[in-house]
Amino acid sequence: MNYQEALAYLDGLNVFGVRLGLSRIKRLLSLLGNPQDKYRTVHVTGTNGKGSVSAMLAGILQKATIHTGLYISPHLASYTERMQVDGQPISEEDFAEAISAVRAFIEQMLAEGEECPTQFEALTAAAFYYFAAHKVEYAVIEVGLGGLLDSTNVITPEVSVITNVAFEHAKLCGGTLAGIAHHKAGIIKNGVPVVTAAEGMPLAILREAAEQHAADIFVEGEDFSVRGGAFSPRGQSFSFSSPLLGVDGATYELHLLGAHQVKNAGVAIMTAYLLHNIEPRITEPVVREALRLVTWPGRFEYLEVPSEGGAGVQPVLIDGAHNPAGMEVLRQSLDAYFPGQPRVLLLGILHDKDIDKMLRTLVRPEDLVVMTPPQSDRAEKARVLAEEAAQYARSVAYREDNVEALALALSLAQEGRLLVVAGSLYLIGGLRQLLLGKEDSHA
């Protein structure tokens, strides 16, 4: 298969949708020779922030000269982003080869009368295969959905990371916040330390699971803490403390923006300290430099693109806030970093999200709002989104075409308005590419 054929094959597997469970992935990996057991891993889940923490941890490992794999989902622009080695996405040729290897064993499973793996299971198996083929030393593995029954939950990591727990994917994870917490806790393994920034009832559930597995748990706000410092659109500083580690107010610089990224960085630092116990190449200076350099596109990402007419620049903020908790963090960060600045919101949301709560959280009456659908079969129509948004803003427009929506939003954003693009990763990836194209053409 070539790359396009591999994508077509994956698209065919997508008809099976989300089917949680580990039997298919375990069988598939067994046929592949269990590649996931050939390197050390760090497992990361959480309602929000798991991608950012995964990127930070991969950056720390790489800066420590450790041959590192990173598996994430979803992607912004290309499937190749999902599998990275030492910060480089898999090539289209290697991606096609990995999917071909997996496909051969899927066909064997089908010939033997077994159930067909899902698209995400095929991708997970391909990533594990690719990392083994490239002989990585460590791989940072981001959970796709939940944890307990997610197809990544076949590894025994060095550290389990649970960023936070909020109401998301409830139908697939027990229907309640407690059920979601139990699914996140499902990545906790016997004797494997856990790092988390969870709070309240979800934290109590994580503690209970950790105790059952004789796993030490390290909690943000108790065993370690962070405090934000100076910030600008280009980055921010913060301090990290841990009485457990004898660290009091160590200062760091973080390229990523947002108050939530400070908390994510604290989780990554605590995880790095635990990894240092088995990997002496991970040192405090390594962690400091890695965080100063880490990037994570589409997460409270600040860009400046040529303004309409070519005179000056247009500030743009891109964020993959795709659930109420993410919107709350986005609203807080916007208010902190850009207080009082007029905004144009270009939003697209999936129909299975709590759309009303998301809009109620983010939209101010004075905001100019443009609604457009994400590139997903789960997308809500722009017209419906606009009707919802009209409850909260006086000026709402919609365009079913993303390119037209971006053009309208940019025209509205003149005269000192900040353009905020958010609502779904399935929207911001394509719009980000268009905006970067404008930036490149200006250069």
Single out the residue in 293, 318, 333 at which a domain terminates.
293
Of the candidates 59, 53, 243, the one whose C-alpha atom is nearest the C-alpha of residue 159 is 53
368, 420: one domain: yes
Is residue 84 scored above 90 in pLDDT?
yes
DSSP 8-state symbol, 80: G
Query: What span, in angstroms and rounded, lies between the C-alpha atoms of 422 and 326?
Result: 10
pTM as predicted: 0.90
Q: Are 325 and 168 in contact (CB under 8 A)?
A: yes
If you average pLDDT over residues 156-184, what whole number do you get?
82
Q: Note whether 18 and 137 are same-domain residues.
A: yes
Do both 195 and 138 map to the same domain? yes
Res. 184: pLDDT tops 50: yes
Residue 443 has a pLDDT of 39
Please, which pLDDT band fits residue 167 given cuts at 50, 70 and 90?
low
Tell me 154's DSSP state: T
Q: Domain check: are 181 and 223 in the same one?
A: yes
Choose the final residue of a domain: 293, 325, 352: 293
272 with 238, same domain: the answer is yes
* Chain position carrying tokens 């923490």: 53
Specify the pLDDT at position 416: 86
Answer for the pair 42, 68: CB distance below 8 angstroms, yes or no.
Answer: no
Indicate which CATH number applies to the domain containing 320: 3.90.190.20
- 282 plus 318 within the same structural domain: no
> Same structural domain for residues 186 and 215?
yes
Instruction: Grade residue 172 by pLDDT with cuts at 50, 70 and 90.
Output: low
Name the band, by pLDDT with cuts 50, 70 and 90, for residue 309. low
For residue 49 the two structure tokens come to 């922030």
Number of other residues whose CB lies within 10 A of the CB of residue 23: 10
| Among candidate residues 243, 258, 293, the one where a domain is terminated | 293
pLDDT at 439 over 60: no
Tell me, yes or no, whether 273 and 250 share the same domain: yes
Total number of domains in the chain: 2
Structure tokens, 86: 């030492």
Is pLDDT above 90 for 280? yes
**Distance, CA of 124 to CA of 23 (rounded, Å):** 14
Residues 96 and 147 occupy one common structural domain: yes
Tell me the three state secondary structure of residue 83.
strand
Confidence bin at 442 (pLDDT 50/70/90): very low
Q: Supply the pLDDT for residue 47.
A: 87
pLDDT on residue 234: 81
Question: For 238, which DSSP code?
Answer: E
Q: How confident is the prediction for the chain on average, in pLDDT?
A: 93
Domain range for 260 is 3-293
Strand 235-242, strand 247-254: pairing: antiparallel
**How far apart are alpha carbons 14 and 148 in whole angstroms?**
21
Claim to verify: residue 235 and residue 102 sit in the same structural domain: yes
Indicate if 238 and 345 belong to the same structural domain: no
The token duo for 287 is 């962690």
Cα 218 to Cα 278: distance, rounded to the nearest angstrom: 17
Q: How many helices (H) and strands (E) does the chain have?
A: 14, 17
CATH number at residue 204: 3.40.1190.10
- Parallel, antiparallel, or unpaired: how do β-strands 194-196 and 68-71 relate? unpaired
Q: What pLDDT, on a 0 to 100 scale, did the predictor assign at position 332? A: 92
Q: Span 61-90, mean pLDDT?
A: 96
Question: pLDDT at residue 109 above 90?
Answer: yes
Strand 159-162: give its sheet, edge to edge: 88-89, 83-85, 68-71, 138-142, 40-45, 159-162, 194-196, 217-219
Give 141: exposed, middle or buried? Use CB within 10 Å, 0-12, 13-18, 19+: buried
Q: What is the tens place of the pLDDT at every residue in 312-366?
A: 889 999 998 988 988 999 999 999 889 989 999 999 999 989 999 999 999 999 9
All residues at 6 or more sequence positions from 95 whose CB lies less than 8 Å from its CB, including other chains:
3, 6, 79, 80, 83, 126
* pLDDT of 13 over the 50 cut: yes
Over range 245-264, report the average pLDDT.
Answer: 94
Say if residue 77 is in the same domain as residue 133. yes
pLDDT digits (tens, 9 = 90+) for 231-248: 887 899 999 999 999 999
Nearest to 328 by CA among 268, 258, 398: 258
Stronger pLDDT, 2 or 48, i.e. the higher one: 2
Which of the four pLDDT bands, split at 50, 70 and 90, describes residue 191?
very high
Show the tokens assigned to 94. Answer: 């290697």
Residue 145 confidence (pLDDT): 84
Q: In whole angstroms, what is the distance from residue 394 CA to residue 390 CA?
A: 6
Give residue 197's region: left, alpha or beta (phi > 0; psi -120 to 50): alpha
Q: Rounded mean pLDDT of 120-129?
A: 97
Rounded to an integer, the average pLDDT of 140-148 is: 92
